[in-house]
Amino acid sequence: MEPDRYQEIERYLRQEMSPAEQAAFEAQLAQDPALHASLKAEKALVSALRTHTHQRLKDQLQDVEAGLPPLRPRPRWPLYAALAAAAVLLLLWLIRRPAPTSESLYQEFAAHYDSGLLTRAEGTPPGCTAYFEAISHYEDRAYGEAFSRLTALPATDSCGLPAAEWQLLTGIAALQSGETAQALSYLTPLVESQEAARWFVALAQLRQGNEAGLRATLAYWDDRTGYYAQLAQQLRDALP
């Protein structure tokens, strides 16, 4: 084969020709059986060389692997030891962890009850200053002062604020300031009409250590949903 013709075949197989050169070469292939036969032979040779090279490389790799020492599986005992140590530490933590007390659970669940009355009281007449001040102390978490001021107010609808709301706040302020028995006296009459009152009754029973009464109060939310039902379930789960 002429050197130029061989180079053309090589360039064609390597896709190094321009589109015009490729079109001209393929036109020659269609008219020149000898050129077509040479191209076919060159393709077969390239394919054979690739196959031979691949097989030879594969054989060489197998020879290298055969000469290497066998790999030993890494022992797993360090992993097992670490897992066992972690399990022991977890067990010790569970054993030594102090059981929650009634007071610790109370502090965890007795979040501030936002009455929303402070905004409403801002527009009350001047004669309602005492109501406004009592609510201000309550919302500032000054529960002792709030309880003292709330109990000094008449337990009737005054200044446009329902007496039941004042009674609820008075009971909560009493509970938060440690007057549990008085808190129950204010809150218990409201449990049928105010879910918040029932929840704080449960907290008062928790603080008293009255487990039977607490569980009975929490049972109200067994088949209910909502904010207080979720709190009740969380408190039940936390009880020792």
Phi first, then psi, for residue 230 (nearest 5°) are -65, -45
pLDDT average, residue stretch 47-68:
59
Domain CATH for 137: 1.25.40
- Picking from 49-53, 92-96, 115-119, 224-228, which range would have the lowest pLDDT averaged per residue? 92-96
At 37, is the pLDDT very low, low, confident or very high (cuts 50, 70, 90)? confident
Residue 142 lies in a domain: yes
Checking if the pLDDT of 98 tops 90, the result is no
Count up the domains in the chain and report the number. Answer: 2
Checking if the pLDDT of 93 tops 50, the result is no
Identify whether residues 63 and 106 lie together within a single domain: no
Identify whether residues 204 and 152 lie together within a single domain: yes
Q: Cα Rg for the chain, rounded, in angstroms?
A: 44
Identify whether residues 56 and 126 lie together within a single domain: no
At 32, is the pLDDT very low, low, confident or very high (cuts 50, 70, 90)? confident
pLDDT average, residue stretch 195-222:
94
Identify whether residues 53 and 163 lie together within a single domain: no
Identify whether residues 57 and 113 lie together within a single domain: no
Residues 6+ apart with CB under 8 A from 181: none
Is the pTM of the predicted complex or chain greater than 0.75? no
β-strand partners of 161:
158
Identify whether residues 44 and 112 lie together within a single domain: no
Residue 79 lies in a domain: no
Look at residue 18 in the predicted model and tell me its pLDDT.
81
Question: Six-digit token pair at 105?
Answer: 């659970």
Checking if the pLDDT of 61 tops 60, the result is no
Residue 86 lies in a domain: no
127-186 residue pLDDT tens? 678 888 888 898 899 999 999 998 888 766 567 678 888 899 999 999 999 999 999 999
3-class SS at 191?
Answer: coil
Identify whether residues 42 and 124 lie together within a single domain: no
Checking if the pLDDT of 54 tops 60, the result is no
Gap between the Cα atoms of 144 and 177, Å rounded:
5
Residue 89 lies in a domain: no
Identify whether residues 201 and 135 lie together within a single domain: yes
- Domain with 109, as residue range(s), is 102-238
Q: Any idea which residue has 């039902």 for tokens?
A: 229
Residue 21 lies in a domain: yes
Identify whether residues 107 and 220 lie together within a single domain: yes
Identify whether residues 107 and 62 lie together within a single domain: no
Gap between the Cα atoms of 221 and 229, Å rounded:
5
Identify whether residues 151 and 204 lie together within a single domain: yes
Residue 84 lies in a domain: no
Identify whether residues 146 and 203 lie together within a single domain: yes
